[in-house]
Amino acid sequence: MSTLSPPFRILFTHDQILRRSQELARAIFAATPGEPPLLMAVIEGARPFARLLQKHLPGQLPVHEVRASSYAGTRSTGAVTITQGGDLPVRGRHVLLLEDIVDTGRTIDALRRHFTAAGAKSCRVASLLSKPSRRVVPVAIDYLGFEIPDEFVIGFGMDLDGRYRELLDIVVYEADVERAFAAGTRHAASG
Ligand code: IMP
């Protein structure tokens, strides 16, 4: 982690993420003989994960982007709106949704229903993380990186109101760690 960011607790190092994503790419490839899947990253959070999978899947598959919003701050608001990529032509294709984290399950459930209704031959899900204890809507995750407890995580694409996406590791967000770090930084600057 950068020394310019607060010392949040590391859940998964960048190295662990790289290795696990490579394993997932192998599993995806092994399960898709013939037709390559239509990769769809749920942005913005899943971009780094999608890039890794793209790199490790043969054939230089393009990654399409779909945007769905249901979050404000650290709380899910419930309703899911597809604001970008909902009109991608999926008829007759095997869709693979790439997600950073499945929390309540509402986003993936909404996307899967949408693309299935739009005529996708199948619609599978690869997610780097899952918080099963937070599930409201049951969803099947076909390829899962890691299960995590009910903690708000940031880094490797995941943000808190647009901040901390650039961290290489996945860390646990804690407001008091952030406050203490900010106070220390101010103190150092004035001393
Ligand atoms: P769901 O619809 O509740 O499953 O939420 C999925 C989306 O919420 C993810 O794509 C993330 O953008 C966001 N999200 C859920 N939990 C976290 C978290 O711990 N950190 C950052 N974003 C999260």
Whether 109 lines ligand 1, by a CB cut-off of 6 Å, is no
CA-proximal residue: ligand 1, atom 20 (nearest): 153
The C-alpha R_g of the chain, in whole angstroms, comes to 18
Instruction: Tell me the CA–centroid distance for residue 159 and ligand 1, in Å.
Output: 9
Between residues 77 and 167, which one has the greater pLDDT? 167
Dist. CA 132–CA 150, nearest whole Å: 8
- Amino acid code (one letter) for 127: S
Whether 43 lines ligand 1, by a CB cut-off of 6 Å, is no
Using one digit for the tens of pLDDT, what is the confidence trace for 81-129?
Answer: 899 999 999 999 999 999 999 999 999 999 999 999 999 999 999 999 9
Whether 21 lines ligand 1, by a CB cut-off of 6 Å, is no
Whether 45 lines ligand 1, by a CB cut-off of 6 Å, is yes
Using one digit for the tens of pLDDT, what is the confidence trace for 25-84?
Answer: 999 999 877 889 999 999 999 999 999 999 999 988 999 999 998 755 555 567 898 999
The CA–CA distances, whole Å, from 173 to 4, 61, 79, 95, 108 equal 15, 33, 24, 32, 23
Among 71, 171, 172, say which to mutate for ligand 1: greatest number of ligand atoms within 8 Å of CB: 71
Whether 158 lines ligand 1, by a CB cut-off of 6 Å, is yes
Whether 106 lines ligand 1, by a CB cut-off of 6 Å, is yes
Dist. CA 97–CA 140, nearest whole Å: 12
CA-proximal residue: ligand 1, atom 16 (nearest): 103
- Does the predicted TM-score (pTM) go above 0.75? yes
**Is residue 103 flagged as an active site residue?**
yes
What is the number of alpha carbons within 13 Å of residue 119 lying toward its C-beta? 6
Which ligand 1 atom is the nearest neighbour of the CA of 151? 19
Phi, psi of 35 (to 5 degrees): -60, 125
DSSP conformational letter for 2: -
CA-proximal residue: ligand 1, atom 11 (nearest): 101
Q: How confident is the model at residue 191 (pLDDT cuts 50, 70, 90)?
A: low
